[in-house]
Amino acid sequence: MTLTSPRASRAPHDAALPAPAAAARPAVAPFGRTLTAFTLTAVLVSGQLYVVIPLLHDMATGWGSSAGGLTWLVTAFGIGYGVGFLVFGPLSDRIGRRRLLMIGLPLAAITTALVALSPSPEVAFGLRAVQGIAVAMFPPAGMAYLAERVEPRRRVVAIASVTGAFLASAVMLQVAAQLLVESIGWRGLFLISAAGFVLAALALRAVMLPDLPRVAAGSLLSTYRAVPGLLFDRVLLLRYVATIMLMVGFVAVYTGLQIYGVTSPSELLTLRASGLPAIVLVPLLMPWLARIPMTIRAAAFLTVGALALAAVGLTGGAALVLLLAVYVAAITGGLPSMNEAISAGAGQARGTALALFSFALAVGGSVGPQVAAAFGGFTPLMYGLAAGMGVAALAVLVSARLVRPRR
């Protein structure tokens, strides 16, 4: 999953253009067609992290392995996805958004199809990592393209819609996988995803404008010079840790529901779908919620998430649908709040800081399945994640206190 601020995305573009080109007004992308193509592609791309979760038992049966051991299929993808984001963000600045996507989406189709042909878990682990790297080309290039080429007055709507699609994919792809796996099998689902990437490449090729002219400024490695300073900044480090914990919990909850057999398949489908209203509603409320200071808002959402998980453990899942909806709402509000807090603390290195933010999300998504498997039961997992979310909220508040003496 990837969030990028419009200001951060525009800055590299302006720096990469020669003076005459930067002053000229670029052509505006067709809004409706662009938004539709990019939103659907975002669902497909980010959903590849989650689509495996409902398939774990079927894959384990076919290979004669344990569902817990196959959680590495999620982790391997997340590792590749996170590394790929850091690599392809600067590369899209150098070679152009459209050109990179026309390479990345066909590669994503090929690697996804190869996962469907995997003869063993070990081969599938490696292919899932490669698949993660391939699909990682879309978020940095796609978000930067929207910030550059969508009409300014519609830009916020476009970026909010695509980032919302990244979140919604966690629920939509799990629901689709659970509904289809009995009829077409897990291999068929990967083949459908591969076909989806082919269609996405064709759709983006049709709607994207030609790349803007660019000039290289320094070596590609120079892009990474700000990374160590950001990672060792004590304020940002606390916020990155909180971001990782946020995503660990989100993925671990859904993985735990799958591997521990908490509910029947039909009830599990309802649980997965219960998060969708919150994913749609919370972003609509953000203009009002944004009046609350960002660190207080982020800590509050993390605290609500911790309380919801603790209540699940305490009640034994008696109100699981309601509590899971509250938890998803907390994640949906906490994610952009953490994005804003990290962006505000990064100064002139905002773009690189947000790349690291997305990397932190990928790390959390990769670790989440292993955390779920390590607890050995659903109730202990809920208490453990609740404690982790509470620590994350505390880390955000401490980071806010550390900023004050510098003002």
Q: Mean pLDDT in runs of 10 for the chain (407 residues)?
A: 44 41 64 91 92 90 88 89 81 82 95 95 95 90 80 73 78 87 94 97 94 68 72 90 93 86 75 78 74 89 95 82 89 80 69 74 85 90 95 95 63
Q: Are 7 and 94 in the same domain? A: yes
* Shared domain check, 407 and 321: yes
| Co-location of 93 and 209 in the same domain | yes
Does 123 share its domain with 185?
A: yes
Confirm whether 184 is domain-assigned. yes
Q: How far apart are CA 324 and CA 231, in angstroms?
A: 32
Residue 137 shares a structural domain with residue 200: yes
What pLDDT is recorded for position 25? 59
Q: Is residue 256 part of a domain?
A: yes
Angstrom CA distances, 162 to 7, 109, 124, stand at 16, 20, 29
Question: Do 237 and 165 lie in a common domain?
Answer: no
Q: Could you tell me which of 373, 381, 276, 332 has the C-alpha nearest to residue 73?
A: 373
**Residue at which a domain ends, from 175, 198, 217:** 217
Assess whether 150 and 261 both reside in one domain.
no
Do 212 and 255 share a domain, yes or no? no
Which of 217, 239, 274 terminates a domain? The answer is 217
d(CA 317, CA 56): 22
Q: Residue 402 has which token pair? A: 């550390």
- Report the domain count for the chain: 2
The verdict on residue 17 lying in a domain is no
This prediction's pTM: 0.71
Query: Taking the alpha carbons of 244, 159, 279, 139 in that order, is the dihedral positive or negative?
Result: negative
Which domain-ending residue is among 163, 197, 217? 217
- Are both 210 and 242 inside the same structural domain? no
Report the CATH number that the domain containing residue 404 is assigned in CATH. 1.20.1250.20
Confidence (pLDDT) at 194: 97
> Does 19 map to a domain?
no
Best CA proximity match to 91, nearest among 1, 362, 83: 83
- Domain of 172, in residue numbers: 1-12+25-217
